[in-house]
Structure 1
Amino acid sequence: MAKSSADDEELRRACEAAIEGTKQKIVMSIRVAKSRGIWGKSGKLGRHMAKPRVLALSMKSKGQRTKAFLRVMKYSTGGVLEPAKLYKLKHLSKVEVITNDPSGCTFTLGFDNLRSQSVAPPQWTMRNIDDRNRLLLCILNICKDVLGRLPKVVGIDVVEMALWAKENTSSVTTQSNQQDGPVATTVTESDLKVTVEKELVSQAEEEDMEALLGTYVMGIGEAEAFSERLKRELLALEAANVHAILESEPLVEEVLQGLEAASNCVDDMDEWLGIFNVKLRHMREDIESIETRNNKLEMQSVNNKALIEELDKLLERLRVPSEYAACLTGGPFDEARMLQNVEACEWLTGALRGLEVPNLDSTYANMRAVKEKRAELEKLKATFVRRASEFLRNYFASLVDFMISDKSYFSQRGQLKRPDHADLRYKCRTYARLLQHLKSLDKSCLGPLRKAYCSSLNLLLRREAREFANELRASTKASRNPTVWLEASTGGSQSGNSADTSAVSDAYAKMLTIFIPLLVDESSFFAHFMCFEVPALVPPGGVANGNKSGSYDDTNDDDLGIMDIDDNDSKAGKTSADLQSLNESLQDLLDGIQEDFYAVVDWAYKIDPLRCISMHGITERYLSGQKADAAGFVRLLLGDLESRISMQFSRFVDEACHQIERNERNVRQMGVLSYIPRFATLATRMEQYIQGQSRDLVDQAYTKFVSIMFVTLEKIAQTDPKYADIFLLENYAAFQNSLYDLANVVPTLAKFYHQASESYEQACTRHISMIIYYQFERLFQFARKIEDLMFTISPEEIPFQLGLSKMDLRKMLKSSLSGVDKSIAAMSKKLQKNLTSEELLPSLWDKCKKEFLDKYDSFAQLVAKIYPNETIPSVAEMRDLLASM
C-alpha cells in the first residue's frame, strides 16, 4: 500500500511553517483535491476542475480550554503552502460522504456558521478509502475529546468505521526513516480510534446478557417440563416458610414482653417532657421580648449610619470645586488653558445631570439645599456660555481679518494662489471640544456662533474666489471667436473660427477643480465643527469626485475626533430639522461666491460660445459626483452653473437661428446657401467640444438649427417657384455632402441627413418631370388621354374617339419624335441651364434618362395595345439613342 500523505513529515513541517505565530499545533496534515460538485456533471468540468489542497487539523490550548481548527492550505505560485481558509471544529455539524462518487473517497464538511448556506460547500476528494477514514476518524475523535459531541455522520456506517479503526490502529503509529534517523509520527492510536463499542454495549453488559440467555437455553423444546419444575420449587419454598414461622413462637413472646416494658418507660418520659415544655415556653416568650427590643436598636443604628452616608454623598454632589468655579467665571480662553476649561465644562455638565430627577432621588429634588445649588450651577452655566460665546465670535472674526489683511495669501497678478485653510482649521480645532460642551450645556447658544462663523468665513471665501477668478481670466490667453457663425455676410472670415480656445474651458475646469472640493470640505468641516447632527458630507479620508489633480492633502484632517464626546451625536437617522438648519447655515457661509463662477462662465461665452458645451459637460461630471453629499449649497451652485451655461448656449443658438432666418429676406437666392457649409463647420467643432453628458445639449441645438435651416430653405424656394426645385435639390445635396462624415457617427444628424435625402429625391423627381413634359408635351398628353379613356370604354373603341384616331397618332409621332435626338439634347441643355452645382449634373442626367425611358416604355405598351398595327420607335432604339447622348 502506498504511503499516506498523513505520514509525510515534510508536509507537516510546511503546514507548521505556514501557521507559525498562531500558537497552534498541527495534529494531522493530509493532501486532498478540492472541487465543487463535479460528480455527475461532466458537462461542466471545465469550470469545476479539482484543485490541490492540504487539510490540516490544528489545536490550541488556552488555560483549561482547548480549541480545535480545520485549516485549508493552498499552494502559492512558488509552490509554498499558505493558509486559504480557517474553520472552527466547534461549528462542524455534518460529515457527508458523497454518494455520486463510486470510489467513496469524496466527502463534504458542513459548518453551521457559514454566511451563505445557499452556496454548495466544497467537496474534498482523498486518494483512497484509508486516507478518507483516517482523516474522518481524527476529526471525530477531536470532536468527542475536545468538544464533547459528535457531528452528524451521513453516508458512512459508524460500526464499519470502528472496525476499520481496530484493524488499522496498529499500523498508524509508524516511523519514517529519514536522514536524521527514525522519527515517530505524532498521530497516536488514541488520536485515530473512535470508541464506537463504548457507545453501543460494554463488555460487562455483553457477558451478563450471554449468561442470561444461557439460562433460557435449557428450557428450549421442553416448556411443559420446565413449568412443572418451577411449580414444585415454589411449593417447597412455601412449606419451608410456614415451618420457620411456627418454630419462632417463643421468640415472639419475648419480644412482646420487651415492648410492654418499653411502653411504660415511654409514658414516664411523656410526663417529664410535658413539664419541660411548659418551662421552655415561658423561656421562649422572655427571649422574644428581648430580641424585639434588640432588633429595634440595631435597625435604628443601621438607619442612622445609612442616613449619614447618604448625606455625605449629597453634600459631595453639592460641593463646587473652587478651581472649576474660578475657571468657569473668569478664566482665560487661550490655547494653553483649554484643557482646564474643558475639564470644568465636563464637571459642570456632570453636576447638572447629577441634580436631575433620573440621576437624583425624587425625594431630594425638592430639598431647599438642592434647589439653591441647582440655581447656582445654572448661573455658572449661563456665565460661562456667555463668556465663551463672546470669545469665539471675536476669535472667528480676528482669524479671518488677519488672513484678509495679508495680500500674499490671495491670487495676485501673474500668480494663481490655491486657497489653503489648513492653518485656519487647525486653529479652529483647538475649540472643537469646547463647542461640543457648549452644545450640551446650552444648545441655543450655537445659533449666534454659527452665524458669526458663517459671516466671517464668507468674506474670506468670496475674496479668495474673486481674486482667483480675476487672475484666472487675466492669465488665460485665448483669441475671441465671432458669435456670427451662420451669417452670410461674414465672407471669408471662417478661418478665425478654427482658433484654439481650449484654454477657456480649461480655466473653467480649474476653477471647479480648486473650489468645488474646497466648498465641500468647508461644508463638511462646518457641519462637524459646529456640532450639526447630520451624516458626514465626505467620507473620512475620501476626496470629492472630480478633484483629480488638485485635491487637498489635509482631507483626513477634517475628522475632528470629537464625535465621541456626546453619545447622542453618534446615533444614525438624524433629524431632518438639523439638516435643514445646516443647509440654511451653508447658504450664509457660501452665498455670493456663485457670482465669481458666473463671471468665468460669461467671460468664456464671450470668447467662444461653443465652449459652453465643454463647460456643460465638466459641470455635469462634478454634479454627478456630488449626489451623495449633504452639502446642499454646492449642489445648488453646480445646478445654477449648469442652468446658466445652458442659457448662454441657448442664447448663442437663438442668435445663430436669427442669422439663418435673415437669409429669407434677401430678394434673389441662387445656388447653395452660405449657412449650409457653415453649419457643417459649426457641427464639426461642436462635436470636438462634447464632454461627459452634454450630448443632449448639442443634439437639441442640432435639432433647432436644422429645423430652422430647412424651414428657411423652403420659404426662400417659394419666392421663385420657377426655380424652386433646382434651388432645393442643390441645397439638400450640399447639406448631405457636407454632413456625410458626421452623420455616420451622430444619430441626430443622421436623422436629418435622411430627411434631406428624401427632400432631395422629391425635388429631383419634380424637376426632371417638368423638363421631360416641356420637351415631349404632345407625346405624353396623348398617352394621358388614352389612359383616362381606358377607365370608361374598351381599348378597341379608343381609335374611333375624337383626336385619338390612327391619323392623329401618326401626326403626333411625327411632330414629337422627328428629330428626337435634338429634343433630348435640348432636354439636357435645359437641365444644365440653371444648375449652379455642376457636380450634380451627371447624376441628374442619369435620373432624367431613366425617367424618360420609363415613361416612353409605358407609352409604347399603350400603343401596342390600342393600335396594334402601328409602328413606333422601339424602347431599345430609344435606350441606345439616350446612351449615345
Structure 2
Amino acid sequence: MAKSSADDEELRRACEAAIEGTKQKVMMSIRVAKTHGTWVKAGKLGRGHMAKARVLALSLKLKGQRTKAFLRVLKYSSGGVLEPAKLYKLKHLSKVEVIANDPSGCTFMLGFDNLRNQSVSPPQWTMRNTDDRNRLLLCILNICKDALGRIPKVVGMDVVEMALWAKDNTPAVAKSSVQRGISGGLDYSAVPEDDMKVAVERELVSQAEEVDMEALLGSYLMGIGEAEAFSERLKRELHALEAANVHAILECEPMIDEVLQGLEVATNCIEDMDEWLGIFNVKLRHMREDIQSIETRNNKLELQSVNNRLLTEELDKLLEGLRVPAEFASLLTGGSFEESDMRQNVDACEWLLGALGGIQTKKIDPTFAKMRAVKERRGELEILKSNFIYSASAYLRNYFVDLVDTMLADKNLFSQRGQLKRPDHSDLRFKCRIYARLLRYLKKLDKNCLVPLRKAYCGSLNLLIRREVKEFSNEVRACTKTPKNVAVNWLEGPAGSGHGGNHPDSSMVSDAYSKMLTIFVPLLVDESSFFAHFMCFDVPTEEGDSGHKSEKVNDENLGIMDFDEKDSKAVKNPAELAALNGALRDLLDGVQEDFYAVVDWACKIDPLRCISLHGITDRYISGQKSDAAGFVRLLLDELETRISMHFGRFVEDTCYQIERSEKKTFVLPYISRFATLATRMEQYIQGQNRDLVDQAYTKLVTIMFVNLEKIGETDPPKYVDIFLLENYAAFQNGLYDLANVIPTLAKFYHQASEAYEQACTRHISMIIYGQFERLFSFARRIEDLISSMAPEEIPYQIGLSKMELRKVLKSSLSGVDKSISAMYKKLQKNLNSEELLPSLWDKLKKDFLDKYESFLLLVAKVYPSENIPSVAEMRDLLASM
C-alpha cells in the first residue's frame, strides 16, 4: 500500500511554516478531500459537489498549566503553498459522525457547537482509506480525552472496533508517559514518531472500566453451577470457531488475493484520477479568480470614469459660483464710496458675503474644500474682502472727521453772546444714514473692523458736543441776572416770625440749570441711541425687534427712541453692552465739566437752591431707562451727587455756625430764624422727594437743641430754666404752621414742647418753694413718715407736733396775699417775653393749688381737729389778685 500522508515529514513542515508565529505545535497533518455533497452510488459523489484538496492539522498550544487544542484546515494557494483556511477549537467539538451513505466508510463529519450558522451543513472530510480515517479520529479522541477531559459523541462507528484497530496497529507504550506529554507541557515536536502514535492511539477503555465490567459479569448468575466449567466450555467453543474461520479463510485465499489486487489497481486509478481532478479544480479556481479580478477592474474603471465626469461638472459649478463678476471686481478692488455709488457698493458686499458663505467648509463637501482650486479661490475672496474693508474704513474715518470739522467751522451753530443756540444734529445724522447699510455689511464681513470706525466717530463727534455744551454753559451763566447777597449767613439776617422775611429771588439759577438739562439731556440720549444703531450694536429697533427685520427698513429708519430697561429684547450680551458703554464714554466724555460748572455756579449764588436743583435732576434720572443712554444716567447721577455734596456742605457750615454761636440775647438767633430757613427750604421742594430736606432738618434741629442745652448750663441755676423755656417757646411759635403739615418738623415741635413743659415746671416749683418753703417742707416730712407709722402717732414725733404745725401755718399763711403777690412779681421780673407771663402765671396758680390741696389732705389725716383755710378759700384769693 502507499505510504500514509500522516507520515509525510515534508507535509508537516509545510503546515508548521503556514502557522508560524502562532506558538502552536503540529501533532499530525494529513491530506483529505473536502465535500458538501451526498453519496448517491458506491464510491461516487453527487453532481455539483466537487471535492477540494485540503490538509487537516492537529496542533497544541501550551499556556501555563493549560493546553489548548486546535484543528486547522489548510488549502493550497495558486503557487502550491499551504495557507490557513479555517481554525476550529477542539473544546467545541461535540460530535464525530461517519457518513453512512459512503460504503467505504472513509467519509466523516466533525460537528462543532459554536458555529454561528447552524442551518448550513458542516463540511465532510474524505480520507484515502480507513486506516487514515481511524488514525486521525483516534488522535482527535485521545487529545480531547487527555487535554480536555472528555470525548465527543461518536456516531456511525464502533468504538471497540477502533480500540482493537489501534491495538493491532500501534505498539504498546506506557499510558502514563503519554499523559505526561499532554498535561506536563511536553514538546511534541521533540517526541519520536512511534511515541506520537502511541500517544494518539491508546486504549479507549480504561483499567477502572475493565474492573467494573468484570465485577458486573461476576455478579451476574447465568444458571451455571461452576464458573470454571463455563469458562472452559466457552474457550472450547471459541477455539472451534477460530479454527472454522481459519479454514474458511484458507479456502478463500486465492479469491481474496484476486479481489485485493483488483481493489488495489482500482484504488491507484482512483487516486490518480483524484490528483488530476484536484489539479483541474485548482486551475479552474484560478481561472475563475482571474475572471472575477478582470470584471472587478472593469467595474472600477467604469465607476471611476463616471465619478470623474460628475466631479468635473461639480467643480465647474462651484468655481462658476466663486468667480467674481466684472461689475463687482472694480468696486471691491478700489471703487468710489460717494453717495451715488453706495447702491453698487452694497450689492458688491452682498455678493461677497454670499460667495464667502458658500465656500465655507460647513456648507460644501469637505473634499471640495481641500481642493487646490477652491483654496486658491477662497484666498482671492479673502484678499478682496481685506482690500474692500481697508478702503471703506479709511474713507469713513476721513468722512466723519470732515463732517464734524465742517460743523465746527460754522460759528452760527453754537451759542453766542446774547443768543442761546439749541444744537441741531439732524443734518449730521442724515448724512451718516447714507452709510448705514455699508456699516452693517462691514460688520458681517469682519466685526472687528468697526472698532476703529467707532473710535473715529466718537472722537470727532465728541469735539462737536463738548463745544456745544461749553458755549451754551458759558452763555447761560452770562445772560442770567442773579441777585446780590443771596447767600448771606442766615444767622446774621433779620429774624422773622416763620413766614416773613424778604429774600432776593434766586429762581433764575434753577431755570438756567433746568434749561441746560432740557436742551442737552435729550440731545445726549438721542446721540447715544443713534450711535448704538448706526454703529451696529445689538440693541432693539423701533419695531421692538433685535435687528432681524429687513435691512432696508433699518437703514431708512435710524430714528431716536426711548428704551425700557425691562424690555425682553434689550441688549443681552454682557460683552456687547460693555463695548457700547465704553464707546458712549468716548463719545460724551468731557461734557460733564460744563454741567458741573453750572451746578457750582448755582449753588454758590444760593445754597438753598440745591434743593430745587436736586429735584430737577431726580426727575430726569427717573425718565432715563435706556441701555443706550447709560452714560447719560451716569452723568445725571454724578450731578445729583454733586448737588447733594454742595447742600451737605451748606448744612455742615450751618451746624458749625450753630455750635460756635454765643448767648447775646435770651432767645438765640438760630432759634428765632430757623422758621424762616425752613420756610424757604419748603418753598424750594415743590413736590419733590423730601429725603434731602428731612435729613437736613434732623441734623440742624438736633445740633440746635444740643447747643441750646449746652449754653443753658453756663447760666446761674435760677436763670437756666427761664432761658430754656423762652427759647423752646420761640421755636414752637415759629414752627407752629409748618409743623402741622411736615411730619419731620412736627416731631421736633413735640420734642420742644416737652422740653418747654419740663423747664416751666422746674422754674415754677422754684418760685413756689421760695415763698412757702416751710409749709411744703413740713408736708414732705409728714409724707415720709405716714407710710411707716400710723397717722395718730405722727404728732408725737419731734418737730411735727400740733404746736409746730401752728407755727408753720402762722408764718406761711399770715399775709398769704403778700406772698402770692411776691411770686407774681418774681415771675414777671425774670421773664423777658411778656406774652409768656399769662400762661406761666396760670400754670403757677394751678401747681400751687395742687400742692396746697395735697398739704390739706395730709393734715386732715394727722391733725383732724386743726382749723386751716380750705382750697376753695385759697382759690378765691388767687382769683381776686
Q: TM-score range by the shorter chain?
A: 0.5 to 0.7
CA distance in 2, matches of 1:521, 1:806: 98
> Are residue 841 (structure 1) and residue 837 (structure 2) matched?
yes
In the other structure, the counterpart of 1:635 is: 633
In the other structure, the counterpart of 2:757 is: 761
Question: Which SS does the other structure have where 2:832 is aligned?
Answer: coil
In structure 2, which of residues 644, 647, 656 is the aligned counterpart of residue 649 of structure 1? 647
* Residue 333 (structure 1) aligns with: 337
Q: Does the 8 Å contact 1:450/1:585 carry over to 2?
A: yes
Picking from 456, 460, 464, the partner of 2:460 is 456
Deviation at 1:730, TM superposition (A): 0.8
Residue in 1 that maps onto 2:619: 621
**CA separation in 2, counterparts of 1:685 and 1:794?**
65
Residues 865 and 561 of structure 1: CA distance in aligned 2, closer, same or farther (over 3 Å): closer
Q: CA deviation at 1:368?
A: 1.1
Q: Deviations over 1:472-494 (max 9, x none)?
A: 11122221444344424767999
Between 485-494 and 832-841, report the one with greater CA deviation.
Answer: 485-494
| Residue 532 of structure 2 corresponds to residue 532 of structure 1 | no
- Whether 1:879 and 2:864 are equivalent positions in the alignment is no
For residues 619 and 824 of structure 2, what CA distance do their matches in structure 1 show? 58
Give the TM-score normalised by the residue count of structure 2.
0.62
Cα distance in 1 for residues equivalent to 2:458 and 2:829? 77
Partner of 2:324: 320
- Is 1:498–2:516 an aligned residue pair? no
- Superposed displacement of residue 671, structure 1: 2.4
Give the letter for the 1:448 counterpart: P
| Deviation sequence 1:321-368 (CA, Å, 0-9, x none) | 122111111112111111111111111111111111122222211111
Matches of 2:448 and 2:589, distance apart in 1: 24
Out of 343, 350, 358, the position equivalent to 2:347 is: 343
Give the alignment partner of residue 398 of structure 2, picking from 383, 387, 394.
394
Q: What residue in structure 2 maps to residue 685 of structure 1?
A: 680
Q: 730, 734, 743: which is aligned to 2:726?
A: 730
- Are the counterparts in 2 of residues 432 and 562 from structure 1 also a CA contact under 8 Å? no
Shift of 1:318: 2.7
- What displacement does 1:691 show? 3.9
Is residue 2:700 matched to residue 1:705?
yes
| Equivalence for 1:752 | 748
Report if aligned partners of 1:619, 1:642 keep a CA contact under 8 Å in 2: yes
Distance 1:378 1:692, change over 3 A: farther
Q: Which residue of 2 aligns with 1:413?
A: 417
Matching of residue 513 in structure 1 with residue 511 in structure 2: no
Q: What is the alpha-carbon distance in structure 1 between the residues aligned to residue 470 and residue 687 of structure 2?
A: 27
- The change in CA–CA distance for 1:320 and 1:446 in structure 2 (over 3 A counts) is same
* SS state at 2:659 partner: helix
Aligned residue among 528, 538, 561 for 1:523: 528
Q: By how many angstroms is 1:682 displaced?
A: 0.9
Residue in structure 1 matched with residue 408 of structure 2 by the alignment: 404
Q: Once the 2 structures are TM-superposed, how far is the Cα of residue 422 of structure 1 from its aligned partner?
A: 0.3
| Structure with greater Cα Rg | 2
Give the distance between the partners of 1:447 and 1:821, measured in 2 at CA: 99
Q: Is the 8 A contact 1:439 1:531 kept in 2?
A: yes
Cα distance in 1, alignment partners of residues 444 and 774 from structure 2: 105
Q: In 1, distance between residues paired with 2:560 and 2:351?
A: 18
- What is residue 439 of structure 2 aligned with on the other side? 435
After superposing the two structures, state which structure 1 stretch, 571-580 or 670-679, moved more: 571-580
Describe the shift of the 1:835–1:559 C-alpha distance in structure 2 as closer, same or farther (beyond 3 A). Answer: farther
Q: State the partner residue of 2:126.
A: none
Contact 1:433 1:562 in 2 (8 A): no
> 1:535, 1:574 within 8 Å by CA — same for their partners in 2?
no
Distance 1:623 1:403, change over 3 A: same
Indicate which of 606, 609, 612 corresponds to 1:611: 609
Matched, 1:479 2:477: no
Q: Is the 8 A contact 1:486 1:678 kept in 2?
A: yes
Checking the alignment, whether the CA contact within 8 Å between 1:660 and 1:709 is kept in structure 2 is yes
- The amino acid that maps onto 1:708 is I
Structure 2 residue aligned with 1:793: 789
Corresponding residue for 1:814? Answer: 810
Pair 1:859 & 2:855 matched: yes
Q: 2:712 aligns with which of 717, 724, 741?
A: 717
Q: Distance in 1 between matches of 2:569 and 2:765?
A: 83
Preserved CA contact (<8 Å) 1:798 1:804 = yes
Q: Give me the whole-angstrom Cα distance separating, in 2, the residues matched to 1:521 and 1:653.
A: 37
Answer whether contact 2:495 2:672 (CA < 8 A) is retained: no
Distance apart, 1:581 and its partner CA: 0.6
Q: Structure 1 residues 536 and 608, CA, compared in 2 at 3 Å: closer, same or farther?
A: farther
Contact persistence 1:786–1:798 (CA under 8 A): yes
CA shift for structure 1 position 461? 0.7
Residues 1:595 and 2:600 aligned together:
no
Distance apart, 1:537 and its partner CA: 9.5
Provide closer, same or farther for how the CA distance between residues 538 and 295 of structure 1 changes in structure 2, counting only shifts above 3 A.
closer
Q: Is the 1:481–1:497 Cα contact (8 Å) retained in structure 2?
A: no
**Unpaired stretches in structure 1, ≥5 consecutive residues:** 1-291, 541-555, 564-569
Q: Which amino acid aligns with 1:510?
A: K
Residues in 2 aligned to 1:826 and 1:726: alpha-carbon distance in whole angstroms: 18
Maintained 8 Å contact 1:403/1:409: yes
Does residue 364 (structure 1) correspond to residue 362 (structure 2)? The answer is: no
Q: Is the 8 A contact 2:611 2:692 kept in 1?
A: yes
Counterpart Cα distance in 2 of 1:601 and 1:582: 28
Q: How much is the aligned-residue C-alpha RMSD, in angstroms? A: 2.9
Return closer, same or farther for 1:538/1:448 CA change in 2, 3 Å cut-off. Answer: farther
CA distance in 2, matches of 1:611, 1:558: 45
For the residues of structure 2 that align with 1:669 and 1:811, how far apart are their CA atoms? 47
Q: CA deviation at 1:722?
A: 2.4
Contact kept in structure 2, 1:653 and 1:705, CA below 8 Å: yes
Alignment-derived partner of residue 823 in structure 1: 819
1:672 pairs with one of 667, 673, 676? 667
Q: Partners in 1 of 2:769 and 2:543 — Cα distance?
A: 77
Q: Cα deviation per residue 1:618-654 (whole Å; 9 max; x = unaligned)?
A: 1111111113444211111111111101000001111
User: How many angstroms does 1:402 deviate by?
Assistant: 0.9
SS at match of 2:362: coil
Question: How many residues align structurally?
Answer: 571
Contact 1:583/1:633 (CA < 8 Å) preserved in 2?
yes
For normalisation by structure 1, the TM-score amounts to: 0.61
Contact 2:495 2:673 in 1 (8 A): no
State the secondary structure of the residue aligned to 1:498. Answer: coil
Give matches, 1:224-303, under 5 Å. Answer: none
Q: Provide the C-alpha distance between the structure 1 equivalents of 2:627 and 2:542, rounded to a whole number of angstroms.
A: 5
> Is residue 669–residue 716 contact of structure 1 (8 Å, CA) maintained in 2?
no
Residue matched to 1:219:
none
- Greater mean alpha carbon deviation, residues 861-870 or residues 628-637: 628-637
Q: 2:437·2:555 contact (CA, 8 Å) conserved in 1?
A: no
1:308 Cα offset (Å): 5.2
Q: 2:844 & 2:361 partners in 1: Cα distance?
A: 105
Shift of 1:299: 8.2
1:481–1:496: 8 Å Cα contact kept in structure 2? no
